[in-house]
Structure 1
Amino acid sequence: MSTASAHKQTVPYSKDTGTVYNILFIIGLCHLLNDSIQSVIPAMFPILEKSMGLTFTQLGIIGFALNMVSSVMQPVVGIYTDKRPLPYALPIGLTFSMFGVLGLAFAPSFLTILISVIFIGLGSAVFHPEGSRVAYMAAGNRRGLAQSIYQVGGNSGQALAPLITALILVPFGQFGSIYFTIVAAIAVAFLFYIAKWYSGRLQLSASSMSKGKSVRKQQQSTTISKAIRHAIIIIILLIFARSWYASAISNFYTFYAIDKYQLSIAQSQIYIFIFLLMGAIGTFIGGPLADRFGKRNVIIVSLLATVPLTLLLPFAGPTLAMITLAFIGLILMSSFSVTVVYAQELVPGKIGTMSGLTVGLAFGMGAIGSIALGALIDNIGLTPTMVSVSFLPLIGILAFLLPKDQTLVDWQKGN
């Protein structure tokens, strides 16, 4: 039995091999809108640092609150909805985010900012595992491409953070975030359409799910093998390396560029935009590359090939830094969607759980990285911190210990 057929048994609603592109593009667009809302938070860091006099540690705590709430809740949502899918949780989750953004625009203190950020984190926690499930349901036999379409929407939304800062937050300040209530409302409207399709798909597959119930229960009760547990631990370490480095760039490199190159806030955002934009492109091309060259190979290259570039970045001039950040973003993020698909194939039938674990873990690691790096900058300074994090991609050498793609197929045959 192939990996694909294993998934067909464990998730009957995926048995239709036709790829539903309109649903994939809509859920990808909603991912873009959701993550553009999230990107408002780090984009506000330079504004809050000046207007409220917040320390780097306090800014790190804000990033920690956003990402930790999302990361902790994502696998919880995934585990629950693997058993009881909730189509209309998608628009409800984005409604939480809408209220969070509204509160952020009027927040008068550090505490109220944290509360607003928690609402945004909750909305994101609901969206990500269920959005990934929708992408899986609409994928047919093209799971790599489907996951890339879905994930590139999110990374594109994150790439908007520098533009948000330069075009909205710099001229309008904190209150400028209120415009993102409109973004949230648009996302909610799209997600009602998605939820209707999702619900109809579940109803059509009700009989198939009933027939496959005993199969799923048997697989769910099977203890994950030692080899799979080891592979999951390695994936966690790789996500740690990628997320901490990305957190250092997206949250704090703007301060480094301002200090080293004597730039304005708006000018410094160009560097972050380049990194995130190329990261979005890397996310998109990673899936097709993995389909051709193997998921494990893409994961290995995405980390280790960036090492010379990350080591160069702290010592590069302003122009070379832009070019270096572009290549780092392109290569490093090429494994983002690939990691999700790899994890889903490690534990078939747990689509929401593994998506929540991998994507949620990325948020969680970014959260811990945000607060840890903020404290590190406060204690040893910007330059030493940026030099230190440049070694993180070396952890990618552990990817050689991951089972090969063919091994995953053999494990599925064994089931």
Structure 2
Amino acid sequence: MEAAKQQVLPAATMYRILFAISCGHFLNDSMQAVVPAIFPILEREMNLSYMQVGWIAFALNMTSSIMQPVFGFYTDKKPAPYLLPLGMFASMLGMVGLAFAPNFYIVLLSVLFVGLGSAVFHPEGARVAYMAAGAKRGLAQAIYQVGGNTGNALAPIFTVLVFVPFGQRGALSFTALAAIGIVLLLYVSTWYRRELLAGAHRVKKKASQTAEKVSKEVKFAMILLIFLVLARSWYSAGIGNFYQFYLIEHYKLTIEQAQYYVFAFMIAGVVGTFFGGPLADRFGKKNVIWLSMIGSAPLALLLPHVSLGWVIPLFIAIGFIMSSSFSVTVVYAQELLPGKVGMVSGLIVGLAFGMGALGAVALGKLADVYSLQFIMLCCSFLPLLGILSWLLPRDQRMG
């Protein structure tokens, strides 16, 4: 198995490729961030219910979550470097659709293109980060993931600076970012293709050898890891999609003011994502995963009961601690199944994370039936499920 791990890693960490794919990840996830950023505008102009807002989030994330493992499974067998720019092009089409959507159903259709673009991009992007990592897997995955998390974190800023002043038409401005992304990802794809040509026969041969047997312990660890990411993504769905409405209703903030609070949570998550990777390289991946969930649990329980002045400090702490395991879970899963990098990345970043979209629909329905405060209370208990991470095998037992 050690040989299988080494066969996809170059002798040195390829920082130029890592930063390039991280920038591509930033641009890709900025397209995704447009969707929650435009929620307050669509909710007001199209008179959407909270459940309809949840369905839009569901359409985005489920398209990505279902298709990411599918694309990952396919590209594990037949790597496809130029899926990277093609995914960005699909997101560009989604931006055009959002800008001119006349009703809820066209919004859903446009969001499907954005989700498809994400599904195409992520497995191959994670594979590029894995190939360019050298021995610094945690750091490499952190660099890659921090680009995407930064793009997602900008959703509240997009609301304030783009969609409040320009409305739906503001989505057109993101087609320029998509065009830049296509050019950048063509450069990454060229490097990726050269690497495949240089060692494709060894990769296929040894990946097939590592894929022959999957132990019960590995299967259990993968199922548990997916469950933990699901719990984390349900919490993020509650904060990212609905907390802005909770701030407006409960604390009487304006749309613009509410965005800065949500931004504090998201940008703290970006910082946590970056530092989590190097910490895992030094202290162990299982330890970081466990501490990220258990450490954020008491703060999450406290959040619904504090005054407005405590929201941002708690958001910063929760976002940083909880997201410190974001990139770590991907590396942990890749080392569980080193011959299936694309599929595993799709399962963790795509399926498990995207299944949190079910949470957006469920939470939206609960908000319509009960209240926004009720769903915030429900969300506050989710990080407690992280206690189950203690059942994961130690890092040394995966070698």
TM-score range, shorter chain: over 0.9
Q: How does 1:12-51 map to 2 (within 5 A)?
A: 12-14=7-9, 16-51=10-45
CA contact (8 A) 2:81 2:189 kept: yes
Q: What do the CA deviations read for 1:29-60 (whole angstroms, capped 9, x no partner)?
A: 11011101100101111111100000000010
**Residues 207, 356 of structure 1: alpha-carbon distance in 2 compared, 3 angstrom cutoff:** closer
Provide the C-alpha distance between the structure 1 equivalents of 2:173 and 2:66, rounded to a whole number of angstroms: 28
Amino acid at match of 2:4: A
TM-score, L = length of structure 2? 0.98
TM-aligned CA deviation for residue 207 of structure 1: 5.0
Q: What do the CA deviations read for 1:245-267 (whole angstroms, capped 9, x no partner)?
A: 01100100001111121111010
Find the counterpart in structure 1 of residue 209 from structure 2. 218
**Residues 13, 294 of structure 1: alpha-carbon distance in 2 compared, 3 angstrom cutoff:** closer
**Residues 272, 384 of structure 1: alpha-carbon distance in 2 compared, 3 angstrom cutoff:** same
Find the counterpart in structure 2 of residue 305 from structure 1. 295
Unaligned runs of 5+ in 1: 410-415
Amino acid at match of 2:283: F
Q: How does 1:10-409 map to 2 (within 5 A)?
A: 12-14=7-9, 16-209=10-203, 213=205, 215-222=206-213, 224-409=214-399
Provide the C-alpha distance between the structure 2 equivalents of 1:30 and 1:126, rounded to a whole number of angstroms: 13
Q: Give aligned pairs, total.
A: 399
CA contact (8 A) 1:239 1:365 kept: no
CA contact (8 A) 1:74 1:357 kept: yes
CA contact (8 A) 1:245 1:389 kept: yes
CA contact (8 A) 1:70 1:363 kept: no
Provide the C-alpha distance between the structure 1 equivalents of 2:293 and 2:179, rounded to a whole number of angstroms: 37
CA contact (8 A) 1:241 1:395 kept: yes
Provide the C-alpha distance between the structure 2 equivalents of 1:44 and 1:206, rounded to a whole number of angstroms: 43
Provide the C-alpha distance between the structure 1 equivalents of 2:46 and 2:394, rounded to a whole number of angstroms: 51
TM-aligned CA deviation for residue 13 of structure 1: 4.0
TM-aligned CA deviation for residue 67 of structure 1: 0.2
CA contact (8 A) 2:207 2:338 kept: no
Secondary structure at 1:349 match in 2: coil
Provide the C-alpha distance between the structure 1 equivalents of 2:248 and 2:319, rounded to a whole number of angstroms: 20
TM-aligned CA deviation for residue 348 of structure 1: 1.2
Alignment RMSD (CA, Å):
1.1
Secondary structure at 2:325 match in 1: helix
CA contact (8 A) 1:90 1:195 kept: yes
Provide the C-alpha distance between the structure 2 equivalents of 1:314 and 1:41, rounded to a whole number of angstroms: 25
Say which is worse superposed, 316-325 or 200-209, in terms of deviation: 200-209
